[in-house]
């Protein structure tokens, strides 16, 4: 089906359903999801998966954009010391280019991974911190200047409780809004053509957190920060209330900017696992409900259930099946339901 246009694939998918292959039963084959989708469909990737033929074939068939799950974070850059090592991420960008797939950058500025040498700098020479911070963001974004589909410049700036902004080294040195504004300015200078995003999670289930996130975005935009689009990670489970994803996407879209469902997975650890297909379908419907110019895309946080961060963490007692494809790479009802929802757009 490679190279078939969306109209042709739609006709084939409708033909399949007409002969009784109901999409939400245990589907055998499904049409390439990316060919059914009018907006970019992404999946996260780690370099080890590029050596797995099943992973590469499935990812290339169904998705047109990759988000490095780890390789474009500070921890990966500074594994070997205080100078950025981009080699791990370069491998992903090079592979994606060969496959004709896009890459979405994620994420140089995150409270969860502050480079040691920045912590040391804050103590030893705080007057240099701002310049070094700007230079770091500029080097990262500039390394792939003109090559990426965009960036999560700043990730998870709001506390879990939701009513305040996170404290982290970046906020302590530059202010809770300051570090966000500085990062976006440095990123714009380094790659003027790259869409720049901010990204957050639990917005579907924490109204305080959504409101704080919106206030931060508004304050940064008013200060001139070049925020081009808004990410909502959408790590949810099967207890999620129907309509919660649509309501969150609609709320974020009120800025008039594109919205990215940036990391969706639907844990089956909680709630009725039979709800999973409908939740993935709602994510597609929520994106489809936006004007075309506001549909940044939908990215799934893993390809097969066994690839999921929720599954790889063996300390979690109960099994989980959060993604579209099972551990054998076969499409689940969730994949079929997502495909049907995309085909209806």
Q: Do 300 and 324 meet the contact criterion of CB atoms below 8 Å apart?
A: yes
Query: Using an 8 Å Cβ cutoff, are 195 and 258 in contact?
Result: yes
107: cis peptide before it, omega within 30°? yes
Asked if 181 and 224 count as a contact pair (C-beta separation under 8 A), the reply is yes
263 vs 320 by CB, closer to ligand XIL: 263
CA angle 187, 262, 250 (to 5 degrees): 105
| Min separation Cβ 130 and ligand XIL, Å | 25
Nearest CA-CA partner of 182 in 232, 149, 222, 224 = 224
User: How far is 103 from 67, CA to CA, in rounded Å?
Assistant: 6
Identify which of residues 118 and 201 has a Cβ nearer to ligand XIL in the complex: 201
Q: To the nearest whole angstrom, how small is the minimum distance from the Cβ of residue 201 to ligand XIL? A: 6
**H or E element: which one contains 74?**
helix 74-77
The CA–CA distances, whole Å, from 113 to 26, 72, 116, 267 equal 40, 11, 9, 25
What is the DSSP pairing of strand 102-110 with strand 65-68? Answer: parallel
> Least distance to ligand XIL from the beta carbon of 267, Å?
12
d(CA 270, CA 304): 19
Q: How far is the CB of 217 from ligand XIL (least distance, A)?
A: 17
- Of residues 263 and 282, the one with the C-beta less far from ligand XIL: 263
Q: Is the dihedral of CA 121, 123, 127, 133 positive or negative?
A: positive
> What is the nearest approach in angstroms of ligand XIL to the Cβ of residue 260?
12
State the DSSP H helix or E strand holding residue 342, giving kind and residue range, or none if neither.
Answer: helix 333-343
User: What is the number of other CB atoms lying within 10 angstroms of the CB of residue 260?
Assistant: 32
Give the C-alpha separation, 197 to 111, whole Å.
Answer: 16
C-beta of 8 vs 112, nearer to ligand XIL: 112
156 classed as catalytic: yes
Angle at which helix 207-222 crosses helix 244-252, to 10 degrees, equals 20
Closest approach of ligand XIL to the CB of residue 301, in Å: 6
Position with the least CB separation from ligand XIL: 309
By CB under 6 A, name the binding residues for ligand XIL.
Answer: 69-70, 155, 201, 233, 263, 309
Nearer CB in complex with ligand XIL: 45/337 = 45
Q: Residue 239 catalytic?
A: no
Which pair of structure tokens corresponds to residue 281?
A: 């379908």
Kindly tell me which of 13 and 92 has the beta carbon lying closer to ligand XIL: 92
Q: Which is nearer to ligand XIL, 70 or 255 (CB)?
A: 70
- Rounded distance, CA 274 to CA 276, Å? 6
- Tell me the C-alpha distance between 109 and 188, whole Å: 14
**Closest distance of CB 202 from ligand XIL, Å:** 10
Give the active site residue among 156, 177, 182, 340. 156
- Choice among 182, 263, 282, 340 that is catalytic: 263
Residues annotated as catalytic are 156, 263
């Amino acid at each position: 089906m490679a190279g078939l246009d969306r109209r042709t694939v739609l006709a084939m998918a409708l033909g399949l359903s007409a002969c009784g292959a109901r999409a939400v039963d245990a589907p055998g084959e499904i049409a390439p999801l990316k060919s059914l989708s009018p907006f970019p469909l992404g999946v996260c990737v780690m370099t080890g998966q590029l050596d797995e033929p099943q992973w590469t074939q499935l990812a290339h068939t169904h998705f047109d954009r990759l988000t490095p799950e780890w390789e474009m974070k500070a921890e990966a850059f500074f594994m070997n010391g205080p100078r950025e090592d981009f080699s791990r991420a370069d491998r992903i960008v090079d592979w994606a280019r060969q496959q004709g797939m896009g890459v979405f950058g994620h994420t140089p500025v995150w409270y969860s991974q502050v480079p040691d040498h920045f912590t040391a700098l804050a103590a030893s020479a705080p007057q240099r911190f701002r310049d070094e911070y700007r230079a770091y963001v500029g080097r990262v974004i500039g390394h792939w200047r003109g090559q990426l589909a965009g960036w999560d410049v700043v990730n998870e700036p709001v506390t879990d409780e939701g009513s305040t902004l996170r404290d982290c080294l970046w906020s302590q040195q530059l202010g809770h809004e300051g570090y966000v504004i500085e990062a976006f300015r440095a990123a714009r200078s380094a790659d003027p053509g790259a869409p720049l995003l901010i990204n957050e999670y639990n917005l579907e289930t924490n109204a305080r957190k959504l409101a704080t996130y919106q206030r931060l975005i508004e304050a940064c935009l008013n200060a001139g920060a070049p925020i081009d689009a808004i990410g909502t990670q959408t790590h949810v489970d099967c207890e999620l209330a129907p309509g919660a994803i649509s309501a969150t996407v609609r709320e974020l879209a009120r800025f008039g900017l594109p919205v990215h469902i940036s990391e969706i997975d639907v844990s089956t650890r909680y709630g009725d696992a039979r709800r999973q297909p409908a939740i993935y379908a709602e994510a597609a419907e929520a994106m489809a409900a936006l004007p075309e110019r506001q549909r940044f895309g939908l990215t799934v946080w893993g390809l097969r259930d066994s690839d999921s961060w929720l599954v790889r963490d063996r300390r979690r007692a109960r099994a989980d099946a959060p993604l579209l494809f099972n551990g054998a790479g076969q499409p689940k009802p969730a994949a079929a339901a997502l495909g049907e929802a995309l085909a209806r757009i």
